[in-house]
Structure 1
């Protein structure tokens, strides 16, 4: 009976560690609305739009405030449609002609979340014809898989196209590909203007570019710096066709692979944690706004689009309301899902040793109550309260003392 109660108490503790932090998050959740921040190619500093208690402030990083019309004018890469409608879009900026088409073609957005890297992937890939006879891309009738060998599979008959498979596999191996691959990155959708195929990292950490041109394989070899280990690649296929892809390493370094020679250039922002941090790039003709968001806050970097040098940065701290009280009440929490991947599995997150404050107080209260009731103090119940704090005390109330029948 004693062992059964101990096991029931432990089970209850884990259930409470799942339910109580979840209820706490619901009761105290306040979304982190960071200010909209974008580097101004006119004011040469960050423009910041911040809303607090339904009051919106328009300012820049130097402390200057603006009206809405003034704010539109210092951020023409963002509000170009409004400026065009009002007739206020400049004809040129920094010696470059300005109009809606030019701005829209060179504006781009890239978003990275840890779940993008960690989510499960079905290893069957669609390879489009990169030079189709018609304007729109068309879905091919086959898919390819890539392990130690590249093979094209016909889904309807579940058969391998040996001739096409051998042709593309030979082209890859001729460039030095050694399977199985670590990364196969591409965009298997027809909702894009053109196709650049796939970027593939092989078992030797070498990077290759594979696409199909007029039904035949094209394979390019990309020279990566020796000290980098890619963990995520996204093929961009933006209208301006300036670069092929973005690459993130295990150290959180960010690289761009340019068209016209496969030049690999590092974006000069500090490394971030690709396992937990979010990345957003908002680029335009003149500057790239690189935004890194972590649990502690958000930092924005302005990178010059002409020489890729860091111009300026600004940081906003995340609010830490209720965090201290949470760590005092709960020694750990149990979760089955995570924003950082798409797997369902048990995950225990420890909050540290601050919970000992509440655990010791709860244990003292429990001991005094038992003494007042002139009852003995069960060792295992006391141990569970000391080790798990709030969870242990609630488990003893629900299940009862471990040494009582």
Structure 2
């Protein structure tokens, strides 16, 4: 019984150490680095990026003139830039600085582009992997904003809606009392248009910090897309046309003053589609090697191009398209004219990361970059067989040698040595801590 109790205490101790030791190590020795920021330069006609690096880069330090020497500005051909040259290569991003330096308007692609034209066309749509359904906590109640609030600013309604297997329910935001009349009106309107409950997905921009309210998108039980707008308290429903075989998976809505593109649709085949504002038509963007379950996606709009930036934990890729015209036919898929892939500095190996891969055969992690859920899981050392396993063998041998003259039974010695072999330094420390209590 004593041995069993010791074993039962040892396992939770190993779990705690498998979380705490790597976390403390990372805090002390491994500086976290953000993802690389990559853009398409309309001046250079190539991609240019900035990233934070570990260690020392002589050319980056020279360009920085002693200020933020760990920040690198480079283009896809490997040329280094200082900060001012980097900004000059991206006038659509740093247009305010360009204006202050007297470099506006721009003459690009036969167009004269001043600050208002750039501001009107510039926008960013972001679809992080952690925002997909099933990778974040569900939002049970949401506001359905009024599109005609009777004033300049949008207002949150006094009610919230939730979708059930039977219909669309409304509750009062303060009292949680059911709003049965609203529920009946909106559920009946959706049913009349052929909507089948329960809904698979709800997509909308549920905030008042936007220029106008465009409504929400609903995907019904059969995978059909519906658009719902609340105007003057009544539902207005449209069924956007879908290309043949397209099944929506996620809809991102982002209203802009330009009122050309309403948002982005991700389908079940991991394809991206722009949603046109006026008729809700879908315009496809052929983005190669995009895996939304493990990649973040960002669309950067400017007056000339759309740059789709996809990234996982180690690589970032920019895929550049000409900006689709407003009259692009529904269902048309656009092909990129340029792309560039880069291995981010955060993925580069260093002595700190190699030492971590040696010391810790595994670590207990809560959550990940591509999920907003707190899901504990075990991540094994990326160099388990090359680094961690030999280190565990050494620890197990040393542990067995240190106890070979002890009064421990052969079974206990074998069990504890096996535990050290399997869990490495986590088990060694756990056993040492427990032995101090004896």
The TM-score range, normalised by the shorter chain, is 0.7 to 0.9
Q: Does 2:365 correspond to 1:364?
A: no
Separation (CA, whole Å) in 2 of partners of 1:42 and 1:361: 57
Separation (CA, whole Å) in 2 of partners of 1:279 and 1:163: 40
Q: Secondary structure at the match of 1:336?
A: strand
Q: Does 2:335 correspond to 1:309?
A: yes
Matches within 5 A, 1:118-197: 118-147=135-164, 148-156=166-174, 158-197=176-215
Q: RMSD of aligned C-alpha atoms?
A: 2.9
Separation (CA, whole Å) in 1 of partners of 2:427 and 2:80: 54
Q: Secondary structure at the match of 1:238?
A: coil
Deviates most, 86-95 or 168-177: 86-95
Aligned residues: 403
* Residues 341 and 34 (structure 1), Cα distance of their counterparts in 2 relative to 1, 3 Å cut: closer
Out of 402, 416, 421, the residue aligned to residue 381 of structure 1 is 416
Q: Is the 8 A contact 1:206 1:222 kept in 2?
A: no
Separation (CA, whole Å) in 2 of partners of 1:374 and 1:156: 68
User: Shift of the alpha carbon at 1:44?
Assistant: 1.5
Q: Is the 8 A contact 1:138 1:190 kept in 2?
A: yes
User: Shift of the alpha carbon at 1:122?
Assistant: 3.3
- Residues 244-302 of structure 1: CA distance to partner in whole angstroms, max 9, x if unpaired? 22123465433222223322233222243433432222211111222222222222222
Separation (CA, whole Å) in 1 of partners of 2:424 and 2:259: 58
Separation (CA, whole Å) in 2 of partners of 1:363 and 1:64: 49
User: Shift of the alpha carbon at 1:158?
Assistant: 4.0
* Residues 96 and 172 (structure 1), Cα distance of their counterparts in 2 relative to 1, 3 Å cut: farther
Separation (CA, whole Å) in 2 of partners of 1:31 and 1:228: 39
Q: Does 2:93 correspond to 1:93?
A: no
* Residues 156 and 399 (structure 1), Cα distance of their counterparts in 2 relative to 1, 3 Å cut: closer
Matches within 5 A, 1:4-403: 4-33=5-34, 36-49=37-50, 52-53=60-61, 54-55=68-69, 58-63=73-78, 71-90=86-105, 92-117=107-132, 118-147=135-164, 148-156=166-174, 158-225=176-243, 230-249=248-267, 252-306=270-324, 308-310=334-336, 311-317=338-344, 318-321=347-350, 322-351=352-381, 353-354=384-385, 355-371=388-404, 377=410, 378-400=413-435
Q: Is the 8 A contact 2:225 2:248 kept in 1?
A: no
Q: Is the 8 A contact 1:286 1:306 kept in 2?
A: no
Point out where structure 2 has 5 or more consecutive residues left out of the alignment.
53-59, 62-67, 326-333
Deviates most, 3-12 or 343-352: 343-352
* Residues 390 and 67 (structure 1), Cα distance of their counterparts in 2 relative to 1, 3 Å cut: closer
Q: Is the 8 A contact 2:317 2:339 kept in 1?
A: no
Q: Secondary structure at the match of 2:31?
A: coil
Q: Is the 8 A contact 2:203 2:252 kept in 1?
A: yes
Report the counterpart of residue 328 of structure 2 in structure 1: none
User: Shift of the alpha carbon at 1:211?
Assistant: 0.5
User: Shift of the alpha carbon at 1:381?
Assistant: 0.6
Q: Is the 8 A contact 2:129 2:297 kept in 1?
A: no
Separation (CA, whole Å) in 2 of partners of 1:102 and 1:132: 29
User: Shift of the alpha carbon at 1:223?
Assistant: 3.7
* Residues 395 and 157 (structure 1), Cα distance of their counterparts in 2 relative to 1, 3 Å cut: closer
Separation (CA, whole Å) in 1 of partners of 2:189 and 2:110: 44
Deviates most, 188-197 or 151-160: 151-160
Separation (CA, whole Å) in 2 of partners of 1:29 and 1:386: 26
User: Shift of the alpha carbon at 1:233?
Assistant: 2.2
User: Shift of the alpha carbon at 1:160?
Assistant: 3.8
Separation (CA, whole Å) in 2 of partners of 1:232 and 1:28: 39
